Structure 1
C-alpha cells in the first residue's frame, strides 16, 4: 500500500531525528572521552550532551539567571527571551535545564516541518510538490538544529509557519498573535511583520476584496519585539542592547562587514585551516543560493512570501561579517524550499541528488556538533 505524503514525511522526520541523535550522541561520547579523566556518564546522557553546545550555554544562563549586559562585550541580551522562557517552563516539570532545552526543540522542530508541508499543500495545491518541499527542508543539512539542538530555531520556525498557515486559512487575528509571539524569539521582526502584512493584502486582492483597516493588523505582530526592546530600556537603559552586544562577537556594523572583507581575509589567509575555509565557503554558497531563489519566490509564491524571505535573508546576510551562521538562519526562510521544489519538478535527478547529499550532511553535521565543532 502506498503511504500518504504526510505519513511518508512523518516517517522521514522520525528517521532523521533518530539518526541525527545517534550521530550527535556518538560525537559527544568521542569528545567526552578525549579526556582520560572524564567522569562516567550514563549512556542516555550522551544524547543531551550531543545537542548542547556553543550558544546553548547562553540560553541556559538566561533560563536560570536572567539577562546580563556589558556594553561592547558578549552579553546574553543578544538572545531573545521566548526560548529561554519556554525552557524555564519545561524545567518546572522536572527535567534539568539542558534536558528542558532539548525537549523544547524536539517538540517544536518536527511539528514545524509537518506544518510546513500543510502550508505548502495549500499554496501549490499539489500533494507531491508539497511532499518534495517537506523532504528538501527535512533533509537540509542544517535542519539538525530542529531535531534536538538547544537553540531557538525550531520554536521560531513553528510559530512563523503556524502564523502564515493561519493567514492562508483566513484566520487573521490568530495569525497576528502567533506572529507577535514569534518576534519575541528571534531578532527578525521586520521580516515577520512585512511578510504577514504583504501576504494579507495580497490574499485579499486575490479574492477580489477591498482592503480594510483590519487587514493592517499584522503590524501588531511586532509586539513581541517591542516588548523586549522596552524591557531592555527599562532594565539596562539600552533599548537596542541586543545590537550592541553583537560587537562582542566581532560583528561590527559598517562597510567592512557589508563588503565581507573579513570573509576574504579568512578564506585566503595562509593561517586558516581547511575546516575554517570549507565552513566559510559553504555558508557563503548557501547564502548566494538563497539570494538566487528570492526572485523565483516572488514570481511563484507571491509578494508576501517574497518580501518575508528577502528581509529574513537580507538582514543577516548584510550584517554578518563572514556569512557564518547563514546555513542555520536559512531554515527560517521556509518558502524558499517550496520554491526550490517547484523549480525541480521536472528535474527529479537533481532533486534526488540534493536529498541524498542533504541526508549525508545531516548525519555529518550532527556528529560534528556533538564533537564540539563550530558548525553554524
Structure 2
C-alpha cells in the first residue's frame, strides 16, 4: 500500500525537526557567549538558548509583562498579540515562558505542515501534495517551524487552516481563523483579499451566484481592528505598531527611501563582510523569486491564490528597507510551494537538486541561528 502524502511529509518534517535541533544545540554549545534572552531562565540549556534568539525576548516580555509603548523608541507594540497570548496561556499552566514559546512553535509547525499537505492534496492530488510538502519542510527558513521562538509557525497554521476550511466550503470557521491570524501579524489586507478572492472564485467554479454571505471574509480583518482599538485605548495611538517601525535600530520609516531600497544598496560597501553580503543578496533573491512565481500561481491555482500571494509577498517586500526577514515572511505565502512543485513535476532531476540544496541551506541556517547569527 503506497504511503500517503501526509505521512511522507510528516516523516520528512520529523527528520528535519531532529536535524535542525541537533544543529541548533551544537551551535549554541559552540558559541556559549552569544546572547539569548532565555539565559536568565535556563543559563546552561543549549536547546532553549539556541531556539530563543532576537525577537524571542520581545515575545517573552509581552507574555509576562504586557505591552509598552514609548514614541520614537523600539517598543513591544510592534509585535502582534496572538503568539504572546498563546505563550501566556501555557504559562498559566505553569510552563516556563521560553519553553512555552519553543513548544508552541514545534506543535504549530508540525500541525501546519500536515494541514498544508492536506490542502495541497485537496487541490492537486497526492503526488503534487507530497512534492509541495517536501519543498516546505526543507525550505531553508523552515527552521522557524521547528523551534525558533517566533510567531511564524502559529501564523502559518492559522493561514493554512483558514484556506483549507474555505476549500471545504466552511466559510464561517475559515473567517474566524482568519481573524485570529490578523491578530498575529500585520498583513490583514493580504489575508482578507486572499480569502475573499478565493471564495468568489470557488463559487464561480461551482456555477453558483455570489451573495452577500460571500463577502464574509472581510470580517477576517477583525483581529487587526481589535488590536488597533486596544492600542488606541491603552496608549492613545491606534497605529503605534506601525509608527515604532521607524525607531532607531529598526529604521523602517515608510517613504521612497524604503520603497526604493536605498539602505539595501548602501549595504554594499567596502566594510561589508561575506555574511552581510549573503544576507543582502539572499533575502532579495528569495523576494524576487517569490514575485516571479505570482503569475504561475495564477495559471495553476487560480486568480484567488494569485491575488493572495501577490499581496502577501508584495506588502513586506515594499515595506522592508533591505529585504531583511523576507526569507521567513515567505512561509506565509504557502501556495508558492505548491506552484513550485507543479513547475518541477516534469523535471525530476531539477526537483531533487532543489530539495537537496534546500536541505543543506536549512541545516546551515539553523546552525547559524543557533549560534546567534542574525539570519532573518
| Normalised-by-shorter TM-score class | over 0.9
Per-residue deviation, 1:353: 0.8
Q: Equivalences for 1:37-52 in 2 at 5 Å?
A: 45-52=45-52
Post-superposition CA distance 1:345-369 (Å, at most 9, x none): 1111111111111111111111111
Post-superposition CA distance 1:147-198 (Å, at most 9, x none): 0110000001000100000000000100010001110000000011010001
The alignment status of 1:204 with 2:215, answered yes or no, reads no
Post-superposition CA distance 1:61-92 (Å, at most 9, x none): 10011111111221100000000000000112
Q: Equivalences for 1:206-355 in 2 at 5 Å?
A: 206-248=205-247, 249-267=250-268, 269-355=269-355
TM-score by length of 1: 0.96
**Aligned position for 2:364:** 364
**Aligned position for 1:84:** 84
Count of aligned pairs between the two proteins: 371
The alignment status of 1:13 with 2:9, answered yes or no, reads no
The alignment status of 1:150 with 2:153, answered yes or no, reads no
CA distance in 2, matches of 1:131, 1:105: 22
Per-residue deviation, 1:33: 5.8
**Aligned position for 1:95:** 95
Helix, strand or coil at the partner of 1:32: coil
Per-residue deviation, 1:3: 2.8
Q: Equivalences for 1:95-134 in 2 at 5 Å?
A: 95-124=95-124, 126-134=125-133
**Aligned position for 1:178:** 177
The alignment status of 1:29 with 2:34, answered yes or no, reads no
Deviates more, 1:111-120 or 1:90-99: 90-99
Post-superposition CA distance 1:197-247 (Å, at most 9, x none): 010011000000001111100000001110000000111111110110101
Helix, strand or coil at the partner of 2:141: helix
Per-residue deviation, 1:135: 0.4
Give 5+ residue unaligned stretches, structure 2. none
Helix, strand or coil at the partner of 2:267: helix
Per-residue deviation, 1:5: 2.1
Give 5+ residue unaligned stretches, structure 1. none
Per-residue deviation, 1:288: 0.6
Per-residue deviation, 1:22: 0.9
TM-score by length of 2: 0.96
CA distance in 2, matches of 1:303, 1:238: 36
Give every structure 1 segment of 4 or more consecutive aligned residues whose post-TM-superposition deviation is greater than 3 Å. Answer: none
**Aligned position for 2:159:** 160
CA distance in 2, matches of 1:34, 1:291: 35
**Aligned position for 1:193:** 192
CA distance in 1, matches of 2:3, 2:166: 29
Per-residue deviation, 1:299: 1.4
Post-superposition CA distance 1:124-157 (Å, at most 9, x none): 1x21111000000110010100001100000010
CA distance in 2, matches of 1:162, 1:181: 11
